[in-house]
Each structure stands twice: as structure tokens, then as C-alpha cells.
Amino acid sequence: MMKKRIFLLLLIFCLGLGGCGKKEEQTKKKTTATEETGVASKEAMLTLSMRIPETLNPLLNREETVDRILKLLFLPLVDFDESGKACPAVAQDWEFSADGRSLSMNLNSNIRWQDGTALTADDVVYSVNTLRNAPEDAVYKQVMNYVSGCSKTGTNSVVITFRDSFSSNIDALRFPVIPAGYYSGQGDTGTKPVGDGPYEIESYQQASEMKLKASASYYGSTPQISEIRVKMTAGEETDINAFEQGMTDVLVTNAMDAGKYADESVSGMHQFTSNQYDFIGFNFRKELWKDKSVRQAVAYAVPRDNLKESVYLNYAAMTNTPINPKSWLYEENVATYEYNPTMATTFLKNSGWTDADKDGKLEKEISGIRQSLRATILVNQENTGRVQIASKLKEELTAIGFEVTLDKVDFETYQQRLESGQFDLVVGGWKCSEVTDLTPFFGTGGSLNYIGYSDADMDTLLTAARTAVGEGQTLLAYSSLQKKLAEELPYISIAYRNQAVFASKNIGGEVHPVESNVFRGIEAWTYQKGE
């Protein structure tokens, strides 16, 4: 499900160290590292970070950075490649029923838990039942919005049943599987997990650190890095400070912060397209925006190339539809609106908006009254990037004859105005779910349809995309839906923001993070401590 959250840009605090003699400088750096980062100096070992965990049970965990680390210990039922397409993990193959409401899965019989026992169907059934009783804010709890049950059909086979026929049901199966025998017992499952991933816990110090070692029972390639230290940090600022001072080797943050870490201690920035989507929305409760020509005029007035450079610093994937352009579902062959103020003016003129008095402002006679072309742009003031987009949009719309007011408000007021429909245009964004469904945004009466959009043909296409069964039908349905969205323009899609993994110069090998797993492929990393 989509989340009603709009994420703020990360605020960066840079540390300055004063100059002094060599011995004194080394002493001061050690002191600063401990006092200001809360992370002690490290040995020659790959060092990562996470928050202090409440539990190391991956199905009960509620914290994102802890989940990143637990992915090194546990395999998911289904994995996903760089395009977001499902690929084997614990499940090696699967087949949907004709109606899409159940999924028969065969499990990988080569997988062993780190206590030597074999992974079986009982573990998958137990994992689903654990999620059913997990806290509402557990990382994978939303799985149960889609999954209704799981039953064993053989030692290494299960059937997953779903609440309804939904094309993205497979996307919900990215949850980790845990061993029933161990977790149903009386062991210390909160701090000494038994997994099936490339690493296992070697030692654990409460609220301080834990050490991982390459698992001898892992069925995949043996990791080239044999040991990993995971430091427990207080928050994002601590992560940044620790990375800047060489206390940790990896930092996951906004790609637009690239310049802050472009020094000799950093080997590279490894970008990936996040699920953070930015758009311009129209309020269809207002008569002006029901006119498709006016919406098209606004679309032609958006300087996309300029926004990519000036707002995103080229760290974004520009998009013509609400689907992530890196997704296997993305349709490239849709109507596009490259920046063209002349074309924007033509569309407005064709819709009856003219500058009769030559004052640079457009007017139109409506019900016998000459009315000016006015628009208010709503944006939340805390989000610097979206304020920049809104400011540039105001400038461009003014240039083609609009009278524009920029309504920068705090986030609470922003939410209230969205929900009550008190806006003309909105510069907004979503943290899109990995379980794709556009119905809440554009379906008639959709829970996140703040723009008040309603179209019978669109509803039909949304239903077709939502209920498609199999990759072929799903791809075709989403192609048709995106073409309709690009033609009708309920939103002007702008971009999906990039995130990045910054790696220290100690790390070698291919680093290929993805949204669902920033440490994907860590088995192929190498580590060599520098001088």
C-alpha cells in the first residue's frame, strides 16, 4: 500500500577538525570520533551501521536500518532484480492459479539453516503465521494486507493464498523466512538469530555492536569478506559523522549529497533509483483544470531538463508516468511534453485564453464575465527541493500569462489543504510502495486521490492493471494505463529521486545497490584496509 508520507531532504552536519601537531592530531581525531559520533575507532574489518535493535527477529523488527543488516542473515521468500521483477530465493519457482488468488511454490531444497537443519515448507508456513501476529508497524506487516494464508503441500512446497486477485501479489512475498524449529522454541531469538543468508552472528554486544562471519552453511557463493562489524548508532547524523571520520565504510543517503563525500577516502558513489516520486497535481474540483488543454499547457511549461540539473543535480530518473522508470512495468512510448513555452501558449489560446489588453496576463470570458487566468501552487515549505520546483513553475507560468501565487505552508497545513481540496496546483510526492497499485491515486474515490480526479475509462484501465494475472497480462495492462495517464495528465510526473551508497576506498568489487536491498551482491565485495 502507498504511504501518506512525503519525505524531507536529509540535513547534513559537516565536522571540522582543527590543525595541530601529528601526534596531537591523531589523538584529537580519536577523541572526536568517539565523542561526536558515539562510534569507537575500528580494526581492519568492513564496518557497517544500524540503529540499536529491539529484536533481531526480522519479522518482528520495526526499524529500516536493522532490516538492511538482517538481509545479510536471512533470505527472502522471493527476491527482486534491479527492475523490480520477481526472481528466485527461498522459492525457486512458482505458478499462479488461473484467477490469480493462489500461488503454488516449490522451495529450494539446498538451503540449510545455520544450525544445520534443512529449510522446509513448515518454515514458510510458520513465517506467514508470525507475520500475522507481528506489530502493526513491523517492516513486513503489510504483507498481510495481501496474503490470507499459507499451507504446506509437500516437504518443499507450499500454496500461498491471497485476499483477492491482484497483479502485484507476488511483490508482497519479499519477506524473510525464519526457521520454525528454532523460533518456536525457547532460545534467545531476539539477539541470537539463526538464518540462512551469507552471514551469521559471531558475537553480540547489547546496544554497542555485533560481529558477523561468513556462514559455512550458505548455499550460495562464499562471501569474499569473511567478517563484518556492525556498529549501533543513534541516528542519521551519527551515521554521517562516523562515515566522514572513517569509523564506518558505508553510508546510505541522498545522492544529491555526492559533493560532501568526494574525497580520497571514498572510492565511489553507487546510485540507485529510489521509490521517492515527485509530481505536479491538478485539483479537478476546479473548472479550470478540467480543461485538458490547460493541463497540457502547464505540462509544456515545466522545464524538465532545468529541474534535473538545478533541483536534482542530475541525481534523479526523470519520468513521464507515475511508474518508476527503472521498473520492468515502465512504458516509454507515451505522450511526452518537452519544455516548450510557445506550445504552452498555443494550447491556452486554443482554449480561449487571450491577452486582449496586452498586459502580459491572459483572460477569458466565462458566463459573460472577463476572468483572469490565476493559479495557486501548494507546496510544503520544509521540502527544499519541492519548493524549488514550485518556484520555478511559478516563474514559467507567469511567463505564459498566468497570475500565480506560491502557497508555501508547513507540512500539517499542507496535509489539511490537500485533504480538503484547498489548492489549484500541488507540487507533491509519494514514497511509493514496492507493491504497485495506482488505484488509490487515480481511481474514482481513491483513498489518496486528493486531486479529485474521476474518469470511467481510467477506472477500467486501473481495474485491468490491478487484476491482471501473469507477467504478460500485467505488462500489457500497465502499458495501456500509462498511455492513458500521459494523455489525460491528472499528474505531471517529474522524477524519481536517486539514493546512493557511498563506499570507503577500502571496499572493492562490484557494488550494485537496489531499493529493496542496498547490500545486494555483498558476497562479491572485497575489503582491504588502507594505510
Q: pLDDT tens digits for 346-381? A: 999 999 999 988 999 999 988 888 899 999 999 999
What is the CATH topology of the domain spanning 42-232+519-524? D-Maltodextrin-Binding Protein; domain 2 (3.40.190)
Residue 7, pLDDT > 80, answer no
Cβ atoms 205, 192 nearer than 8 A: no
Give residue-wise pLDDT tens across range 32-69.
344 444 454 445 699 999 999 999 999 999 999 999 99
Q: CA–CA separation, 484 vs 455, rounded Å? A: 11
Q: For residue 34, give the amino acid letter.
A: T
- pLDDT bracket for residue 2 (50, 70, 90): very low
Q: ∠138-215-270 over CA atoms, to 5°?
A: 65
Superfamily of domain 274-498: Dipeptide-binding Protein; Domain 3 (3.10.105.10)
- The model carries a pTM of 0.87
Task: Please compute, for residue 379, the number of CA atoms within 13 A of its CA located in the half-sphere on the CB side.
Answer: 24
Give pLDDT, residue 267: 63
Give the chain's mean pLDDT. Answer: 90
Instruction: Report how far apart, in Å, the C-alpha atoms of 268 and of each of 25, 80, 229, 503, 522 are.
Output: 27, 24, 21, 6, 15
Mean pLDDT value of segment 473-492:
98
Q: Is residue 240 exposed (0-12), middle (13-18) or buried (19+ Cβ within 10 Å)?
A: buried
Which pLDDT score, from 0 to 100, does residue 192 have?
Answer: 86
For the chain, what are the domain ranges?
A: 42-232+519-524, 274-498
Residue 370 · residue 362 · CB < 8 Å: no
Instruction: Please tell me the distance from the alpha carbon of residue 233 to that of residue 301, in angstroms, as a whole number.
Output: 45
The reply to whether domains 42-232+519-524 and 274-498 share a CATH topology is: no
